[in-house]
Amino acid sequence: MDPRDATLPRSVGAVAPRQMRFAEPIRLTGGAAIDEYRLVYETYGRLNAARTNAVLVCHALNAAHHVAGHYADDPANIGWWDNMIGPGKPLDTERFFVVGLNNLGGCFGSTGPSSPNPKTGRPYGSSFPVVTVEDWVNVQARLADRLGIGRWAAVMGGSLGAMQALQWTISYPMRIRHALVIAAAPRLSAQNIAFNEIARQAITTDPDFHGGDYYAHGVVPTRGLRIARMIGHVTYLSDDAMMEKFGRVLRSGKLGFHFDVDFEVESYLRHQADKFSSYFDANTYLLITRALDYFDPAEAHGGDLAAALAAARAKFLVVSFTSDWRFASARSREIVKALLDNRRDVTYAEIDAPHGHDAFLLEDPRYHALVRAYFENAAREVGADRGDAGGAPLEEGEPVRVATGGGLAA
Amino acid sequence: MTGEARISLSGRPDFEAIAAWVAPEATVLDLGCGDGLLLKFLAASRAVKGYGIEIADENVLACVTHGVNVIQGDLERGLQGFDAGSFDYVILSQTLQAMRHTEEIVLEMLRVGRQAIVTFPNFGHWQARWQVAFGGRMPVSKTLPYEWYDTPNVHLCTIGDFERFCADHSIRILERVVLHAGQRVAFLPNLLGSLAVFRFEKRH
Mind listing the pLDDT tens digit of every residue in chain A (410 residues)? 445 566 689 999 999 999 999 999 999 999 999 999 999 999 999 999 999 999 999 999 988 999 999 999 999 999 999 999 999 999 999 999 999 999 999 999 999 999 999 999 999 999 999 999 999 999 999 999 999 999 999 999 999 999 999 999 999 999 999 999 999 999 999 999 999 999 999 999 999 999 999 999 999 999 999 999 999 999 999 999 999 999 999 999 999 999 999 999 999 999 999 999 999 999 999 999 999 999 999 999 999 999 999 999 999 999 999 999 999 999 999 999 999 999 999 999 999 999 999 999 999 999 999 999 999 999 999 998 877 767 788 888 999 988 776 544 43
Catalytic hit among A70, A178, A357, A368: A357
Query: What single DSSP character describes residue B201?
Result: E
Q: How far is B179 from chain A (nearest CA, A)?
A: 32
**Burial class of residue A325, CB neighbours in 10 A (0-12, 13-18, 19+):** middle
Could you tell me where the DSSP H helices lie in A95-189? 133-147, 160-171
The answer to whether the Cβ–Cβ distance between A333 and B81 falls below 8 Å is: yes
CA distance B123 to B106: 19
To test the contact with chain A by mutation, choose from B51, B53, B90 the residue with the greatest count of A C-beta atoms within 10 A, namely B51
Q: Would the CB atoms of B67 and A377 count as touching at under 8 Å?
A: yes
Q: Which helix (H) or strand (E) holds A21?
A: strand A18-22
Angle at A122 (CA atoms; ends A116, A128), nearest 5 degrees:
65
Nearest CA-CA partner of A237 in A163, A326, A161, A162: A326
> Which of A348, A351, A364, A377 should we substitute to test contact with B (largest number of B Cβ atoms within 10 Å)?
A348
DSSP letters for A227-273: HHHHHHHHHHS-HHHHHHHHTT-BSSSS--SSSS--BHHHHHHHHHH
Rounded to the nearest angstrom, the minimum Cα separation between B95 and chain A is: 20
* Helix and strand element counts for chain B (H, E): 8, 8
Identify whether A5 is a catalytic site residue.
no
Catalytic site includes residue A159? yes
CA distances from A175 to A20, A46, A55, A169 (A): 21, 19, 11, 8
**Catalytic choice (A82, A92, A296, A324):** A324
Q: In this complex, which of B27, B65, B71 lies closest to A348 when CB atoms are compared?
A: B71
The single-letter code of the amino acid at A232 is: G
**Contact residues on chain B for A178, CB-CB shorter than 8 A:** none
Distance of CA B131 to the CA centre of its chain: 24
> Is residue A135 annotated as part of the catalytic site, yes or no?
no
Torsion sign over Cα B126, B128, B132, B136: positive
Is B144 in the A-facing interface, judged by CB distances under 8 Å?
Answer: no
As a whole number of Å, the CA-based R_g of chain A is 21
Question: Between A and B, how many residue pairs show a Cβ–Cβ distance under 8 A?
Answer: 48
Question: Which chain B residue is nearest to residue A319, measuring alpha carbons?
Answer: B72
The strand pairing partners of B184, in sequence order, are B179
Q: What phi-psi label fits residue A111: left (phi over 0), alpha (psi between -120 and 50 degrees) or beta?
A: beta
Residue numbers in B near A346 (CB within 8 A): 51, 69, 71
Task: Measure the N-to-C terminal CA separation of chain B; round to a whole number of Å.
Answer: 36
A350 and chain B in contact, CB less than 8 A = yes
Question: Which chain A positions have a beta carbon within 8 Å of B51's beta carbon?
Answer: 340, 346
**A85 and A68 in contact (C-beta within 8 Å)?**
yes
User: Which of the residues A341, A347, A368, A377 would you substitute to probe the B interface, choosing the one with the greatest number of B C-beta atoms within 10 Å?
Assistant: A347
Of A337, A347, A374, which is closest to B81 when you measure between CB atoms? A337
CB atoms near residue A4 (< 10 Å): 6
Q: Nearest-CA distance from B33 to chain A in Å?
A: 13
How far apart CA A184 and CA A310 sit, in angstroms, is 19
Task: Collapse the DSSP code of B67 into the 3-class scheme (helix H, G, I; strand E, B; otherwise coil) and give the result.
Answer: coil
Write out pLDDT tens, residues B84-95.
999 999 999 988
Kindly state whether A204 is in contact with chain B, defined as any CB-CB distance less than 8 angstroms. no
Q: Cα B15–B19–B25 angle (5° rounding)?
A: 140
Q: What is the pTM of this model?
A: 0.94
Residue A292's H or E segment, with its range, is helix A282-294
Choose the closest CB to A343 out of B49, B60, B72.
B49
Nearest partner of B50 among A344, A169, A307, A176, judged by Cα: A344
pLDDT tens digit sequence for B48-64: 999 999 999 999 999 99
Task: Give residue B81's identity as a one-letter amino acid code.
Answer: G
